[in-house]
A and B are shown apart, each in its own frame.
Chain A
Amino acid sequence: AQKVTQAQTEISVVEKEDVTLDCVYETRDTTYYLFWYKQPPSGELVFLIRRNSFDEQNEISGRYSWNFQKSTSSFNFTITASQVVDSAVYFCALTPRPNTDKLIFGTGTRLQVFP
């Protein structure tokens, strides 16, 4: 079975704090892709990152970083020095293998950053 679990329903932090959003996935496929999307109050899902299962290198993009660990089936997302504009719902998603476009989403983590 394929499944994405985001155990943190809601996280609240104060501006400038670092925050990590957890994502644990399940799949029997050896080839798969993992994604993070951000959904601000406006509603649209904003693509943040895509990672394939053969690339375990961690990635950093500005204040965002991602830690992919196949050994624990996790793909965690860290925001450094959080800002109020980071307030949104963040979704982790899985595509089990290439040539299928089924995005399996977690239930999302609502992040609130207070000034």
Chain B
Amino acid sequence: ETGVTQTPRHLVMGMTNKKSLKCEQHLGHNAMYWYKQSAKKPLELMFVYSLEERVENNSVPSRFSPECPNSSHLFLHLHTLQPEDSALYLCASSQDLGDRVTDTQYFGPGTRLTVL
């Protein structure tokens, strides 16, 4: 597999369910990101990880819990979500963070989440 992959591609869950989204990058990158894309709103950055450490958390509700066990994998654990959390969740990766030239972020295909 190449690039950034995400599973599942589609997910329907009830408000009391617990589920996880998975992202895997095959690019040898050190930084990974979660974004939320809602209808008619700009993409919202949720979390940033660099070398498995969380470096950014953009005031995301605690019902979203990220996990980065290694630089190739990123998870987003979901529990007690609300219908307004329905959106496309996109994962991205980039070579590095830090005091260098800004690296380009490469995105996965996303998980389309519907909360009933």
Contact = CB atoms under 8 A, between A and B. Distances in A.
Contacts of A114: none
Nearest to A106: B42
Contacts of A102: 45, 56
A108 B9 CA distance: 22
State the majority secondary structure of interface residues on B.
Answer: loop
B15 to A, nearest CB: 24
Contacts of A107: 40-42
B104 interface: yes
A101 B48 CA distance: 9
Contact of B42 (A95, A101, A105): A105
Contact of A50 (B4, B100, B104, B112): B104
A101 B94 CA distance: 9
Categorize the interface residue count of chain B.
20 to 34
Interface string A44-86: 1111001010000000000000000000000000000000000
A45 B106 CA distance: 7
B43 interface: yes
Contact of B31 (A47, A52, A91, A101): A101
B99 A99 contact: yes
Nearest to A95: B102
A42 interface: yes
Contact of B106 (A4, A47, A95): A47
Given A44-B109, A106-B42, A98 B99 contact: yes
Q: Which 9 A-B pairs have the closest CB atoms?
A: A45-B107, A44-B109, A43-B110, A105-B43, A99-B99, A105-B42, A43-B109, A95-B102, A33-B102
10 contacts: A35-B104, A44-B107, A44-B108, A95-B102, A98-B101, A98-B102, A99-B99, A99-B102, A104-B42, A106-B42
Interface of B: 4, 9, 31, 33, 40-43, 45, 48, 56, 88, 90, 92, 94, 97-110, 112
Given A42-B109, A100-B102, 10 more contacts: A33-B102, A43-B110, A47-B107, A52-B101, A99-B102, A101-B31, A101-B97, A103-B45, A104-B42, A107-B40
